[in-house]
Amino acid sequence: MKKILLLLNAMLYFFTSCSAQKGGDNTPVPESIYDFKIEGLSGETIDFAQFKGKKILIVNTASKCGHTPQYEELEQLYKTYGEKLVIVGFPANNFMWQEPGSNKDIAEFCQKNYGVSFPMAAKISVKGKDMAPIYKWLTDKKYNKLENSKVSWNFQKYLIDEQGKLVKHFDPATKPLSAEIVNAIK
């Protein structure tokens, strides 16, 4: 019995370490942020190659979170710095089931309550074994060449510079219009 358990543990380690270079759905993780093509809330494709030359702020969002009012500041930030910044929201239901709706429900909520005009991706997972490849890129130094991080809650923010390099991440409580974020964008 002990040998079987050791064998099973070894197999589990092998399979989890082999899949570490892929996203949760076994999709390979691209080398560059500009190689990502993501499904949008309405089924359109968000092609990150179109953002070359702009800063990109990636935010995991949820409509039933204490940080949900940050949508308002994210929209203000997007309208103020839109010539040099794009914001991409990634709805995720990873924290206390705070994003339970469908893509259609999320799109309606964002438009009705906050007038969101920045790109919003289809709902994904930002942690765990089903983590989306873009979040694997954002959180793994092997891909982003800056740091390892973990998404700690809804509205964690990742800033990518005009050359496609991750430069910083901000914790969920950091407001989008905080001096820290605005100065990093300017």
* Residue 175, domain CATH: 3.40.30.10
Return the structure tokens found at 93.
């239901």
- How much is the pLDDT for 6? 39
Burial degree of 176 (CB within 10 A; 0-12, 13-18, 19+): buried
Residue 157 pLDDT greater than 80, yes or no: yes
Give the active site residue among 65, 107, 116, 159.
Answer: 65
User: What average pLDDT is seen over the chain?
Assistant: 89
- Known catalytic membership, residue 18: no
Domain carrying residue 127: 2-185
pLDDT tens for each residue of 5-30: 334 443 433 333 333 334 455 678 88
Query: Cα-flanking dihedrals φ and ψ of residue 157, to 5°?
Result: -120, 140
- How much is the pLDDT for 26? 65
- How much is the pLDDT for 31? 87
Q: What percent of the chain is modeled with pLDDT above 70? A: 86
Strand-strand pairing, 45-47 and 37-39: antiparallel
Q: Which residue has the tokens 């994904």?
A: 124
Cα–Cα distance, 116 to 81 (Å, whole number)? 15
Query: What residues pair up with 88 in beta bridges, in sequence order?
Result: 58
The number of folded domains in the chain is 1
Contact 103, 134 (CB under 8 A): no
**What are the E-state strand segments in the chain?**
37-39, 45-47, 55-61, 85-91, 157-160, 166-170
